[in-house]
């Protein structure tokens, strides 16, 4: 077993405050690589959340806890199974027990980035059941309303990652492009 010297993103924002756009784009860019690798191996993580992503002391981003991961071809739930996952970050298709692919992890990553940047999950409700129902039927407060200083395209990226329908979410390539644009803009601003 590997020891990873760092802290979860959940703990990171408790100590350092919410992520700015640069750090959110960096986390997103690195997580796109992880999701792409899992997708190439037909694996869906099913539990991407701030507590399952570590930022190492060297600045690397690592995805943890593959306890709920499954092959894309496996069912997510079956009769008699209890729901497993973190209600604040699960995709609508996971809740509906539809077939899953990497786009379900994109949804969870969108929720994670939203939380890390805004301090609240995109969907809030009083109970786990209400939260799951809200993922299916309720709209969230759009990213640009919570973080008006973030680049418009980056806000649209996170909003689109949280689309209710998997086929409306961005491709990994588009995600990488928008993250790179945000990272480049921040680097240029810091040198001017």
CA distance 94 to 166: 10
Q: What is the CATH number of the domain that holds 49?
A: 1.10.510.10
Q: At 46, is the pLDDT very low, low, confident or very high (cuts 50, 70, 90)?
A: confident
Q: Which residues contact 171 (CB under 8 A, 6 or more apart)?
A: none
Residue 76 is assigned to a structural domain of this protein:
no
Residue 106 is assigned to a structural domain of this protein:
yes
pLDDT at site 190: 61
Chain segment 55-68, per-residue pLDDT in tens: 888 888 888 865 45
Q: Catalytic pick from 20, 47, 97, 139?
A: 47
Query: Within 10 Å of residue 170's Cβ, how many Cβ atoms?
Result: 21
Reply yes or no on whether 47 is catalytic: yes
E-assigned strand segments in the chain = 6-8, 43-44, 53-56, 61-63, 70-71
Residue 145 is assigned to a structural domain of this protein:
yes
Residue 33's closest CA among 61, 66, 67, 2?
Answer: 61
Residue 191 is assigned to a structural domain of this protein:
no
Cα 37 to chain centroid distance, Å, stands at: 15
Chain segment 79-100, per-residue pLDDT in tens: 345 666 787 888 998 888 888 8
Residue 77 is assigned to a structural domain of this protein:
no
**DSSP H helix total and E strand total for the chain:** 8, 5
pLDDT at site 79: 37
Residue 177 is assigned to a structural domain of this protein:
yes
Please give the residue range of the domain that contains residue 174. 6-71+83-185
- Predicted TM-score (pTM) of the model is 0.89
Q: At 72, is the pLDDT very low, low, confident or very high (cuts 50, 70, 90)?
A: low
Residue 135 is assigned to a structural domain of this protein:
yes
Residue 29 is assigned to a structural domain of this protein:
yes
Domain count, the chain: 1
Radius of gyration of the chain (CA): 16
């Amino acid at each position: 077993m590997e020891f990873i010297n760092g802290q979860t993103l959940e703990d990171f924002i408790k100590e350092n405050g919410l992520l700015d756009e640069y750090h959110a784009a960096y986390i997103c860019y690195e997580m796109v690589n992880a999701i792409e690798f899992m997708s190439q191996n037909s694996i869906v993580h099913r539990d991407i959340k701030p507590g399952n992503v570590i930022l190492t002391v060297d600045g690397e981003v690592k995805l943890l806890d593959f306890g709920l991961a499954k092959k894309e071809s496996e069912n997510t739930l079956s009769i008699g199974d209890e729901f497993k996952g973190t209600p604040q970050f699960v995709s609508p298709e996971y809740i509906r027990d539809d077939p899953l692919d990497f786009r379900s992890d994109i949804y969870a990553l969108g929720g994670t980035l939203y939380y890390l940047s805004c301090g609240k999950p995109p969907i809030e409700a009083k109970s786990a059941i209400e939260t799951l129902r809200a993922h299916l039927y309720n709209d969230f407060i759009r990213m640009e309303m919570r973080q008006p200083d973030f680049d418009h395209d980056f806000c649209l990226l996170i909003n689109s990652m949280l689309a209710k329908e998997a086929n409306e979410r961005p491709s990994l390539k588009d995600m990488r492009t928008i993250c790179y644009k945000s990272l480049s803009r921040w680097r240029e601003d810091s040198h001017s």
